[in-house]
Homo-oligomer: A and B are copies of this chain.
Amino acid sequence: MLRSCTAALRKLRALRGRREGASPAARDPVLARRWFSTEKVIPKDHALPNPSWSKDLRLLFDQFMKKCEDGSWERLPSYKNSKLVKDQLSQAQLFTRGYEDGLGFEYVMFYNDDEKRTVCLFQGGPYLQGVPGFLHGGAIATMIDATVGMCAAIPGGIVMTANLNISFKRPIPLCSVVVINSQLDKIEGRKLFLSCNVRSVDEKILYSEATSKKLPLSILGLFIKLDPEKSLT
């Protein structure tokens, strides 16, 4: 067993205790070293090819990198450990980057600001199984949520999903590559409305369609101290 959730809960309680009394860093030397260290760690960008990427994923990646050359599209980097807030659980990591290369979510996103579109190239590994041989519906929902989330976050700041409505048309075979195409449809006040579809590489198979409503965090009563040097992909 790696570090357990019980340990994470202890850390969470320590962090919560900060509001009520002495700093948790004063009570936790490991945490204190992390907080006050001047050492700069360069995080790994996971949205780049690795040996587990299939030929399809590499080809699509190269095509989109070509589209980036004139500035109409940009590749979005992706980190496992977000440093957006300083008061987070030390063990916590982004759900979609929790597995070793090739076993879980392999993906890269590209954004087109003029069209308010985000495209995610996604290869779902063998640890994402639902019905044998196919991706779990939750894994598809996760990548749809992540893609529409990025499509909303770039114009709208950090947002949370208020609604996610997915129609699954056909099951997606494990280890295949799909293209998730997300579009910002409209903004009403502080609400953002998006749509999304999931297709095969040749665009002939429509696997899923979705709509989503997103809200800024502040509507939900959440305020997070942001580190502008890091993104949340």
- Is the CB of A25 closer than 8 A to any CB of chain B? no
Contact check, A167 vs B162: say whether CB atoms are below 8 A apart.
yes
Q: How many interface residues does chain A have, given as a range?
A: 35 or more
Chain B nearest CB, measured from A192 CB (Å): 14
Binds B, one of A31-39, A59-67, A80-88, A179-187: A80-88
Chain B nearest CB, measured from A168 CB (Å): 5
- Is the CB of A77 closer than 8 A to any CB of chain B? no
Contact check, B217 vs A131: say whether CB atoms are below 8 A apart.
yes
Chain B residue, CB-CB nearest to A144: B138
8 Å CB contact of A129 from B87, B93, B123, B133: B93
Contact check, B175 vs A9: say whether CB atoms are below 8 A apart.
yes
Contact check, A222 vs B98: say whether CB atoms are below 8 A apart.
no
Mask of A1-28 contacts with B, CB within 8 angstroms, 1/0: 1111110110010000000000000000
Please indicate the chain B residues that have their CB under 8 angstroms from the CB of A5 in the complex.
Answer: 52-54, 102-103, 106, 123, 125-126, 175
Instruction: Name the interface residues of A101-146: CB closer than 8 Å to any CB of B.
Output: 101-104, 106, 123, 125-133, 135-139, 141-146
- Is the CB of A166 closer than 8 A to any CB of chain B? yes
